[in-house]
Structure formats: structure tokens, C-alpha cells
Amino acid sequence: MGLRDRTENTFRAKLDALLDEFENPRESREYTHERLEDELDDIRDAVVDLVTEKKRLERRRDRVEESIGERNRDAREAVRAGRDDLAREILRKKADEVTELDELEGQI
């Protein structure tokens, strides 16, 4: 470290000490309080967003579960009507919905 660096560091340290003397503790507290209030507002907003997203996912899960039940009924009816090809197609769609349901459960 050269003389210039040492002089610069000493100057910065003395300047920081001088500025600290002029700093108003009340203003610092108020500023810190405002920052914390802003952060708290951000956290509240994030919680609201999370709750909203969870409710949306739960509604989607409920619709998918209902659709799976309907597909089971439709597949049985197709088999009774002798439409095995239709029953297979319905069961393929049901399998896709079961996969989606698993993904939704993982997200909730």
C-alpha cells in the first residue's frame, strides 16, 4: 500500500467520522422506520399474491377432479354402448388430467 492509498484511507476515515457527528439520530431512526414499513408492505403484498395463487390452484384442482370423475362415468357408458374406441380416448384424456392433478397438488 503506497503513501497515496494510506492518505486516501485516512482522509475517508476522518470524513466518515466528521459526517457521523452531523448525522441526526432521529432522522436516521425515521428513515429506517420508513424503510421497514415499506418492506412490510411488500411482504404483505407478497402474502396476498401467494394466497390468491393458492386459491386459484385449488379451484383448478377441484375442476380437474370433477372432470376426472366425469370421464370415468363417460368411459363406462362408452363401454356399455360397445364403443371401446371412445372409452380408450376418454381414458387417455383422463390420464392427462390425472397428470395435471398431480402437478397441481405439488404446487399447492
pLDDT tens digits, one per residue of 12-26: 888 887 777 677 778
Instruction: Quote the pLDDT of residue 27.
Output: 77
Q: Say if residues 64 and 101 touch (Cβ distance below 8 Å).
A: yes
> C-alpha cell of 4?
497515496
Owning domain of residue 53: 3-107
Instruction: Quote the pLDDT of residue 1.
Output: 61
- Residues 64-105 pLDDT 10s: 999 999 999 999 999 999 999 999 999 999 999 999 999 999
Count of structural domains, the chain: 1
Distance CA 33, CA 63 (A): 45
- pTM for this one? 0.66
